[in-house]
C-alpha cells in the first residue's frame, strides 16, 4: 500500500511547472503523486516522469477532469471528446508509469438533472458501450479504469457503490474496477465499511478525504471501520488524499469550497498523511 497526494490540492491545470511541487511532496513523506490532467497537450509526460524519478516518487494513478465537453452520456460530440481525452491520457500513462485512470469517467461532473428512468436506461447503455471500448484499449496496455461514484449534488448517474458495481458488471471487463472516495460515500452510504466490503476485490483505487473536504482524520468519518474493511478485502492499492481549498480558484468553484476549511493545504497534506499511515497500516 502506497500513500499519494492528488495535485488538485495544489495546482490546476497541471503543467511542467507543477513538477516544482514534487520535492515538497517527497519531503512530507508521500510515496506517489496522482496527477489530475485537464489538457493532455498541456504538459510533457517525459519531463514529468524524469522529475518523478529524480525525487523518488511514483505516479500510479492519473485522475481525469470531466467538464461539460467530456460526457460519455452526452451529445455525440461530447461522447467522442471524452473518449479521445481518456485515450490520450492512457497513451501518456505508458510514459508516466501509471496503471489506473480514475474518476467519474461516465459523465460530466455537475450534471445532476433527475434523468427520467427510460432516458437513464438509454444513457446507461451508451456509457457501457463506450466503457467496453475504453477498457479494451486500457487492457491492451495493462492498465485499468477506476469508476468513481459521486454524491447526488454532483451527478444523478452513479451515487453509490452498488450503482458503480452494477455498471462494472455490465461492462464486464477485467480492466474496470471501483474508485472509492470517502467524501462522496460519507454522503451516500449509510455505513462506509459495509460498502467497502461489498466492493471487495473490485475496489482498485481509494481517495481519502475528510467529511467536509478537509483533512482525513479531523472529522466524523468512521476511519476505524474503513480501515477494518480495507483489511478485510485485502486492499493493496494506493491511498490518495484528494482534498480541496480556496487556493486553486477554478477547483474551489467546481467543488463548492466557499470558506477556509483547514488552516492550510500543508495542514491537509501533512496531518492527513500522518493520520492515514497510523490508522490504515495497523
Q: Write out pLDDT tens, residues 212-228.
A: 999 999 999 999 999 99
| Residue 34: closest CA among 82, 106, 93, 109 | 93
- Per-residue confidence (pLDDT) for residue 252, from 0 to 100: 80
End-to-end CA distance of the chain: 12
Q: Which of 56, 54, 85 is nearest to 68 (CA)?
A: 85
Instruction: Render pLDDT for 156-193 as a digit per residue (tens, 0 to 9).
Output: 999 999 999 999 999 999 999 999 999 999 999 999 99
Quickly tell me which residue has 476511519 as its cell.
223
Condensed to tens digits (0 to 9), the pLDDT of residues 194-209 reads 999 999 999 999 999 9
> Domain range spanning residue 218?
3-280
Cell representation of residue 162: 452498488
Residue 256: strand pairing partners: none
Q: Is 242 a catalytic residue?
A: yes
Strands 176-181 and 203-208: parallel
Report the domain count for the chain. 1
Cell 481525452 sits on residue: 85
2: confidence class by pLDDT, cuts 50, 70, 90: very high
Taking the C-alpha atoms of residue 115 and residue 95, their distance in angstroms, rounded to an integer, is: 39
In the numeric block, the cell 522529475 is attached to 51
Residue written as grid cell 467538464? 67
- Please give the model's pTM, rounded to 2 decimal places: 0.96
Out of 34, 148, 188, 189, the active site residue is 148
Q: Contact, 28 vs 56, CB < 8 A?
A: no
Q: What's the CA dihedral at 191, 189, 83, 6 to 10 degrees?
A: -60
Query: Is residue 148 flagged as an active site residue?
Result: yes
The arithmetic mean of pLDDT across residues 250-270, rounded, is: 89
Pairing state between β 3-6 and 144-147: unpaired
SS3 86: helix
CATH number at residue 133: 3.20.20.150
Residue 253 C-alpha cell reads as 468553484
Give the chain's length: 282
- Which member of 154, 188, 242, 262 is catalytic? 242
Q: Assign 227 to helix, strand or coil.
A: helix
Would you call 125 helix, strand, or coil by DSSP? helix
Q: Where are the beta strands (DSSP E) in the chain?
A: 3-6, 32-37, 61-64, 100-103, 144-147, 176-181, 203-208, 239-241
Which of 177, 239, 252 is CA-nearest to residue 209? 239
Amino acid at each position: 500500500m502506497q500513500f499519494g497526494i492528488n495535485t488538485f490540492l495544489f495546482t490546476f491545470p497541471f503543467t511542467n511547472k507543477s513538477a516544482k511541487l514534487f520535492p515538497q511532496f517527497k519531503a512530507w513523506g508521500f510515496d506517489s503523486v496522482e496527477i489530475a490532467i485537464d489538457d493532455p497537450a498541456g504538459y510533457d509526460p517525459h519531463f514529468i516522469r524524469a522529475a518523478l524519478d529524480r525525487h523518488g516518487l511514483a505516479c500510479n494513478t492519473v485522475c481525469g477532469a470531466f467538464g461539460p465537453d467530456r460526457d460519455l452520456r452526452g451529445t455525440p460530440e461530447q461522447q467522442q471528446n471524452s473518449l479521445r481525452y481518456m485515450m490520450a491520457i492512457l497513451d501518456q500513462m505508458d510514459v508516466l508509469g501509471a496503471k489506473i485512470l480514475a474518476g467519474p469517467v461516465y459523465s460530466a461532473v455537475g450534471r445532476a438533472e433527475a434523468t427520467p428512468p427510460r432516458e437513464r436506461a438509454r444513457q446507461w447503455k451508451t456509457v457501457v458501450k463506450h466503457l467496453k471500448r475504453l477498457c479494451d484499449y486500457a487492457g491492451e496496455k495493462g492498465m485499468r479504469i477506476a469508476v468513481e461514484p459521486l454524491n447526488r449534488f454532483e451527478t444523478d448517474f452513479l451515487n453509490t457503490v452498488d450503482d458503480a458495481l452494477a455498471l462494472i458488471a455490465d461492462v464486464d471487463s477485467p480492466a474496470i474496477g471501483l474508485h472509492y472516495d470517502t467524501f462522496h460515500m460519507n454522503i451516500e452510504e449509510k455505513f462506509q465499511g459495509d460498502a467497502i466490503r461489498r466492493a471487495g476485490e473490485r475496489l482498485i483505487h481509494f481517495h481519502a478525504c475528510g467529511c467536509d473536504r478537509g483533512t482525513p482524520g479531523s472529522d466524523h468519518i468512521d476511519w476505524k471501520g474503513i480501515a477494518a474493511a480495507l483489511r478485510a478485502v485485502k486492499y493493496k492499492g494506493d491511498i490518495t488524499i484528494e482534498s480541496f481549498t480556496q487556493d486553486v480558484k477554478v477547483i474551489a468553484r467546481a467543488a463548492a469550497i466557499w470558506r477556509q476549511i483547514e488552516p492550510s493545504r500543508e495542514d491537509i497534506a501533512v496531518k492527513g498523511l500522518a493520520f492515514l499511515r497510523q490508522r490504515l497500516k495497523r
